[in-house]
Structures are given as structure tokens and as C-alpha cells.
Structure 1
């Protein structure tokens, strides 16, 4: 995988509080700005191989838990593969089919990146997402990955509300199934806009009709219009449902069974048996899918122009149009 080398990444990193350069100190990294609290009084620790660049005073991320989890990942290795990954390939594709929407949009993103060694930032990149593996196979791309946990495909630990990278430092950003897990998605999108170079590309997928799937770290859902307005400072290149009403129904049945049986395993089992509901997505016209999708995607280019409130009203593409 074309992951950027950690030594090179460290030269690029900045303080999440004031965006000044960092200096190596015993036990971690410190901010170089004398007025910053992270200059001397506090240090950004190292947790295993990962620098932990979180402004803990302004984040829900807990310092002790993050460091302990990273140290555990270093000593114990990656977590064992889940049930889905242990299934034979044909069954795995039935249980979790390939995300063709992501694959198509990632292909567009990669073809839009010109010049030598473009930098692509993966926000919330502790795992390689469904449909985006081409990013890690393209030899041209320098991938920079971070999450609030360390993993083999991340180079540092950070909070997406304060991305520890300089302004205009990356050519593209990938944020798949991330924005529902942050407290302030608008702030995270503003940070994505900031770190992108002029004309940089963003690809994001965010749920609309999905049940809670990360416990206490699941906060937000977006309609198609709401998702577009979240990225109002970007020119749209592509947008639409990632999965439609059939997939959304499958989520609901899974969680209904969980509630009735008090068993997540029972819910997953019924979900596996009713996998065919996903095929109904193909029968629903795009306008109806826009009102009842499981999730939406957005591919856009950084712009100096901001979409207006009236424009987002006119943007609506669903079936509920006044007669």
C-alpha cells in the first residue's frame, strides 16, 4: 500500500491547537510556539508507533484510553477478523456486497488527481473501507491516514475536528462513514476544506436511514439535501444514494429482531437470511430512493463559492414535489 512514510509524515504534522510546527521531545512531540499550552506544559504522546495529536482539552477523546488502546494494538496485534471476514468469499459478498458506488466515485477521484505523488488524506481510516481499496493500490498516491485509534493503515492518531496538518497540504480527502461519528460535522468539513489545496477533491459517505452502529460515538444523520448543504463550499461532481430503500429495510429488520430477542447475533442471522432485500434497491426510481436511502455520498471539488440557502431548496431531487 502507498502509505506515506512516518518520518515524512512527522515533518508535515502541526499542532492541533495552534497549527505551529512540532518538535520531538522525550515521550512525544511538543508545539514549537512558546505561547501554546502544548509547548512545554503538555506533550503529545507517542502510543506505540503512532503520534497522538489530539487537543484533549477540546475533544471528547480520552487521553488515557487512546494511549492504552494504541499500546494494546502494538503488543497484541490487529484484532481477529470478524464473522463476515471469516466467511467463504461467495457468502461474504452476499452478507456484505461490494460498494460499487464508492468504487466508481473513488475511480473518478483518482483520475482527477494530476501531477506527481498527490497526497490523499483518509479521515477515520483505521480500516480500509468497502469499495475504496483502489486508493491503497495506486502507486502514484501518497496516502495519509488517521483515526482516533491506531491501526496498520494509519500513521497518527487525531481528532477530525482539529486535523493536525497545514492549510492547503493535501490534494484529496476520503471520509467514508465518518461524519455520523463526530460531534460537529460542519467543523470537520471546514477542516477538510482547509487542508485541501485549491481545487482539491473530497469524497464522503454518510448515513441517512441507519440505526445506531457505534454506541456512544454515533451522533448524526443526513438527508440528501442536508448532506449537500454540509458540503456547500464544494462544487458537486457526483452525489446520490449509496444504498437504497431495500438496504434500509434490511437494517430495520436486523435491529427489530435485536430488540425483540435482546440478541445482536439473532439480528445478524435474520439479516443474512433476508439479504435479497438489497436487490429491491434496483427497482426503486432515483427520486424515491432520494427520500428513503440508507446512505448518501458526495464527490466534490473545493470552491471559493458557497452554496446559498435558496439553492439548497432548489436542489431537492426527491419524489415529494408539489403538484
Structure 2
């Protein structure tokens, strides 16, 4: 994998509160500014091998839980794959088909990156997302990943509302199926804009018509226009549905059965039997899919210009025509 080495990542890290430098101390890191609330030695603890760089006074992330979860991850022995990844290849494609849209867009993003060793930041990257494997296997790219939990493909634990990296420090950002799980997605996108270099790239995938899928940590959905306005300080390179109305219907059938039977297993079983609904996405024209998508993507370039309110209203690409 093309993960950035720990020393390279460590040199980039800053205090999430004041964005000043950090120093290593026994038990963790701390801010170098004497007036910062996180100046005490070990203010940012280590959780296994991951520094926990969270402004706990301004985050829903709990310090103790973050450390305990990461410690368990660090000491656990590798086990068999779980969920859809544990199924035979044919069944895996039924329950978790390859995300071809992500693969195409990540390929475009990688080909657009400048220089011999560009840096790609993965926000919410505890696992390698569906369709983005190429980003982790491009020998030219240095991948830096973080999440609120540690994992083999993350280098630190952080809250995306306060990314502990300097401004203009990365060439691209990947944020796949994350923005629905943060309290303030507009603040997170502002942080993404801040850490990107001039002309840096972002690739995002976010749900539109999907049921709650992370319990208490699922907050927000976006229409196509709303998603574009979320990234209003970016020039659009490409945008559209990741999955259309057929996939959205499959989600609804799954959760209808769950509600009727009080069984998630029953819902997943019916979802597997009705996998063919996903194929209907190909029959729906783009303008109708825009209004009924299960999820949406945005690929854009950092800009200093912001879309106006009039421009975002005129942006609408769906099938509903005003009278």
C-alpha cells in the first residue's frame, strides 16, 4: 500500500485547537504554545500506535473510548473478514457490488494529481472504501488516512471538524460515505478546503435517499443541488449519482422488511433476493436519477470563488420543470 511513512505524517501534524506545532512527550503529544489548552505533556494521548489529536472540549469524540477502541484494534489478532466481505465472490457481488463510479472518478483524480509524490488525505478512512483501492496502490501517491478509530490504514485519530494538519498541506482529499456522519458537514468541507493546496482536488460520495445506517452517528442527507452547494468553494469537474432509483428502492425494501419482521437479517436476505432491482438504475435517464439517487458524488478543484445563491438555484439538473 502507498501509505505515507509515519515520520512524514508526524512532521505534518499540528494542534487541532490552535494549529501550532506539537512536541513528543511521555504518553503522547502536546501543543508547543504555552497559552493553548493542550500544552500539558501528553495532552494528546497515544492509543496503541495512533496519536489521538482531538479537541475533546469541542468534539463528540470521547477520549477514553477512542483510546480503548484503538488499543483493542492494535492488540487484536487478524481475523476472518466480516459482513459481505466474508461471502464467496459471487454472493459478495450481489450484496456489495463493485462501485464502478468511484473507481472511475478516483482514476481521474489520480491522473490529475501533480508532481512526483502527491499527498492524498483520506477523511474517515478506517477502512478502504468500495471502489477506491487504486488510491492505496498507486506508488506515486502518499496516502494519509485518519478516522475517529484506529485501523491498519490510518495514521492518526482525529475529528474531521478540526483536521490536525496545516493549511495548504495536501494535494487531494478523499471523503467517501463520511459527511452524513458528521454533525456539521459544512464545517468539515471548510476544513477540507483549508488543508488543500491551491488547485487541490476533492472526491466525495454522500447519501441522498438512504435509510439510517449508523444509528446515533447518522445525521444528514443531500440532494444533488445541496451537495453542490456544500462544495460551493470548489470548481466542479464531475458530479452525479453514484447509484440511482433502483438501488434506492432496494434500500427501502430491505428496511421495510426489517420493520415488519423486526429483523435486520430478514431485511438483508430479501435485499439479496431482490438484487436485480439495482440493474434498473441503468434504465433511468440522468435527470430522473438526479432526483431519486441513492447517493451522489462530487469531484472538484479547490477555488477561491464561491457559488452564489442565484447560481446554485440555476444549477438544478433534475427532471422537474417549474411551471
Q: TM-score range by the shorter chain?
A: over 0.9
Unaligned runs of 5+ in 2: none
Q: CA deviation at 1:74?
A: 1.0
Partner of 1:49: 49
Pair 1:32 & 2:32 matched:
yes
Is structure 2 residue 223 aligned with structure 1 residue 223?
Answer: yes
User: 1:83, CA displacement in angstroms?
Assistant: 3.0
Equivalent in the alignment of 1:174: 174
Q: Give 1:141's aligned residue.
A: 141
Question: Could you tell me which residue of structure 1 aligns to residue 87 of structure 2?
Answer: 87
Match of 1:286 in 2: 286
Moved more, 1-10 or 189-198: 1-10
Q: Corresponding residue for 1:7?
A: 7
2:96 is matched with 96
* CA–CA distance in structure 1, aligned partners of residues 212 and 322 of structure 2: 32
Distance 1:137 1:74 in 2: 23
Quick one: distance in 1 between partners of 2:186 and 2:89?
Answer: 38
Give the corresponding residue for 1:234.
234
Any unmatched runs of 5+ in structure 1? none
Other-structure match for 1:19: 19
Distance in 1 between the 2:227 and 2:58 partners?
25
8 Å CA contact 1:78–1:151 kept in 2: the answer is: no
Partner in structure 1 of residue 299 of structure 2: 299
CA contact under 8 A between 2:291 and 2:318: conserved in structure 1?
Answer: yes
| Mapping of residues 192-211 of structure 1, within 5 Å | 192-211=192-211
Aligned counterparts of 1:232 and 1:215: Cα–Cα separation in 2 = 29
> Following the alignment from structure 1 to structure 2, what is the Cα–Cα distance between the partners of residues 168 and 286?
35
Deviations for 1:216-264, whole angstroms, at most 9, x for unmatched residues? 1000000000000000000000000000000000000001111111111
Q: Please give the secondary structure, in 2, of the residue aligned with 1:228.
A: helix
SS of the residue 2:162 aligns to? coil
> Structure 1 runs of 4+ off > 3 angstroms?
77-80
Give the root-mean-square deviation of aligned CA atoms.
1.0
What displacement does 1:41 show? 6.9
SS at match of 1:46: strand
Asked whether the equivalents of residues 118 and 142 of structure 2 are also in contact (C-alpha less than 8 Å), the reply is yes
Question: 1:214 — aligned with what?
Answer: 214
Q: Which residue of 2 aligns with 1:129?
A: 129
- The answer to whether the Cα contact below 8 Å between 1:229 and 1:312 also exists between their aligned partners in 2 is yes
Structure 2 CA distance, aligned partners of 1:86 and 1:182? 28
2:160 counterpart residue number: 160
- Kindly indicate whether the alpha-carbon contact (under 8 Å) linking 1:2 and 1:142 is maintained by their aligned counterparts in 2: yes
The DSSP-based 3-state class of the residue aligned with 1:270 is helix
Aligned equivalents of 1:224, 1:97: Cα separation in 2: 23
2:27 and 2:42 in contact (8 A); partners too: no
| SS at 2:24 equivalent | strand
Q: Paired residue for 1:309? A: 309
Match of 1:69 in 2: 69
Count of aligned residue pairs for this structure pair: 323
Task: Report if the CA contact (8 A) 2:30-2:41 is conserved.
Answer: no
- Assess if the C-alpha contact under 8 Å between 1:166 and 1:195 holds in 2: yes
TM-score normalised by the chain length of structure 1 = 0.98
CA contact (8 A) 1:85 1:92 kept: yes
Cα distance in 1 for partners of 2:166, 2:223 equals: 31
